[in-house]
A and B are shown apart, each in its own frame.
Chain A
Amino acid sequence: MRKSHIVVRSRGIFAGMLIGAIILSLLAACAPPVTVPEAGMGETPAAAPAAPTAGAPSQVKIGIVTFLSGPGSPFGIPSKNAADVIVEALNAGQAPAPYDQAGIGGVPIQLVYVDESGGPDKQVAEYRRLVLDEKVDLVLGYVSSASCLAVAPVAEELQKLTVFYTCATRRIFEEASYKYVFRTKGTDLVYNVGAARYLLKVKPDLQTIAGMNQNYAWGQDSWTAFRDTVLQLKPDVQVVSEQFPKLFAGEYSAEISALLVARPDAIHSSFWGSDLEAFLIQATPRRLFDQSIGVFIIGEAMLPSLGEDVPPGLIIGAEGTHGALAPDNELNRWFTRIYRERYDARPIHPAYHMALTLFGVKAAYEKAIAENGGKWPTQDQVIAAFEHLEFDSPSGVIQMALANGHQAIEPMAFGITGEFDPAAGEVKLTDRMVFPAECVNPPEGMKGEEWIAQGFPGAKCP
Chain B
Amino acid sequence: MGKVIMTVDDSPSIRQMVTFTLKNAGYEVVEAVDGADAINKVKQHSVNMVITDLNMPNVDGIELIKQLRANPAHKFTPIVMLTTESQDTKKQEGRSAGATGWIVKPFKPDQLIAVVKKVMG
Q: Is the pairing of A and B real?
A: no
